[in-house]
Structure formats: C-alpha cells, structure tokens
Structure 1
C-alpha cells in the first residue's frame, strides 16, 4: 500500500476512530448523529457506513426511513471525496449535484451502505486539481443487511472543483 499524504492519513485515522466520528457527526451532520449512523470502515478504496433500525430511524411503516438511508449512503461517498481532497494542499469545493435512490426491500435491521469507488474518486479530484476545472463523478452506494440482502442503492453525483 502506498504511503498516504499526512493530512489524508490523519483524516482516515480520525474517521475510523468512533468517538471522533461521533463528535464530527454531532457538529456537522446532527441528523445522522440522531439516527445513530456510524462509519464502520473507511480506506482510500472504500467506505462502509451503517444505520441501526430503531425508533430514531424508523418510519411509520416499521422500516428505516428513506431519508436516513439516503443520508448514510451520502456519508459513505462523501467521506471518500473528502479523503481524496486531503491528498492535496489546495482548497477544493465539493457538493452534490444529483441524487437518485432505489429502495428495494424493507430495512428492518442494521443496514450497511458501501461505496467502492475510492480510487475513481481520487482520480477525479486529481483531474480537478490538475485542470482547475470542475469535475463530476457519479458514486454508487449499495445498502445491505449483515446477511447480504440488498435493501437499497443510491446514486450520488458529486461536483468537485479545485480553487
């Protein structure tokens, strides 16, 4: 595994430290903190974020609320974008320009949304830094139960622009 730039290595260390991530969520994404979302694993290649089934994340139909699933899916992709940005010493803007999702099964237990596009995201950030132009990437995050049953799939398009 190649050596990571110090800022990126520190960021991934912080994201993988539960108490630091909880503080980050409370400060920056309070709805995710309320729903009980957490990061289970983040590397330069993939990110897994999960959400429990419980009263805070439940809808009136006894499954996990679609907005909570959307939030954890976005988190699994956004952390990869942010990690990739930390590899550079420039200001880089990121924002969601499109979001689509499919919820295929009732989520009635902890679900895990996983994005495996870390290397593609890094290449997109690198292109923006090299060109100074905005770049876009559609990230896919797949939600599954611990047993592997797919419950949802989110397509999040990020715009990334080095300043």
Structure 2
C-alpha cells in the first residue's frame, strides 16, 4: 500500500494529535520530497505573536519522517526508525502560512540498504526548510534519523 497525502494526514490525526490540532498538514509527497504546511493561529502561537518553535519542529520533522516511513514501507522489511538528534535555526518570525520542504529522500535508500545487508543500525541527517507566504526562509531544521532492523 503506497503512502499518500490523505493517509499521512489521517496518521497525523490518530498518532500525532497535537500536531494535527495545531494545523500541521501534509500537502505533497513523492520519492524524494515532502511538503508540509501549517498556518499561524491562536492555538500554535507563542507570546511574541508568531508560531511556537515546537510547532515548526513538528511540521519540519514530519517532512523528513514521512519520507523515511515511505521508503521503509517500500523495502518490505521490518525496520524501526527514531530521531537520534535534531537542530534548528530560526531566522524570522513565523507568521501566516509556513511551508516546510524536505528534498532529502535520496539519502534514505542507502541507509536502509546498508541496515538490511549488515543488520547494523544506520544514521543519516535530513534537512527541512520553512518559508513564509512571501518565500522568505523563517527556519531550518535538521534531523538525524536512525534506522535498524527489528
């Protein structure tokens, strides 16, 4: 069963309800790229009238994690995944609709292949860039994913 936008958004509702209620939604996904959007609203704001950093982190992580989930599913193997590390840089107030894009899907296949071949866990970093409606970057988040056979 292939991963789709609607299946991912249903997954967010049932498995990541705080992200869902904050407005985090998958907009597009393919083999190498995932796009997630979230709009600044009362429920996800900080005291400075912009989007709370953790909401941005949820949306950014989803762009990377959805790609990992998709490729694990395609491998047909039982593989666990976990965020081992993350870092973020916030360059502008996040107001309006913020769109996060990860274009690092190409990094996953090699790690999955190596963990299947060797039985050892593998790690890799993926980047997600958040931009506002004017196309100005507001944040950049990096996630180190760990994958290993179950």
- Output the TM-score relative to the length of structure 2: 0.95
Alignment size in residue pairs = 150
Structure 2 residue 88 is the aligned partner of structure 1 residue 115: no
Spell out the pairing of 1:6-155 with structure 2 (5 A cutoff).
Answer: 7=1, 10-11=2-3, 13=4, 16-17=5-6, 20-155=7-142
Q: Is the 8 A contact 2:81 2:145 kept in 1?
A: yes
Q: Which runs of 5+ in 1 are unaligned?
A: 1-6
- How far apart, in 2, do the equivalents of 1:40 and 1:145 lie? 15
Q: CA deviation at 1:33?
A: 0.6
Q: CA deviation at 1:88?
A: 1.6
Cα root mean square deviation, aligned: 1.1
Q: CA deviation at 1:128?
A: 1.2
- How far apart, in 2, do the equivalents of 1:40 and 1:92 lie? 25
- Output the TM-score relative to the length of structure 1: 0.88
After alignment, is 116-125 or 32-41 more displaced? 116-125
Runs of 4+ in 1 over 6 A off after TM superposition: none
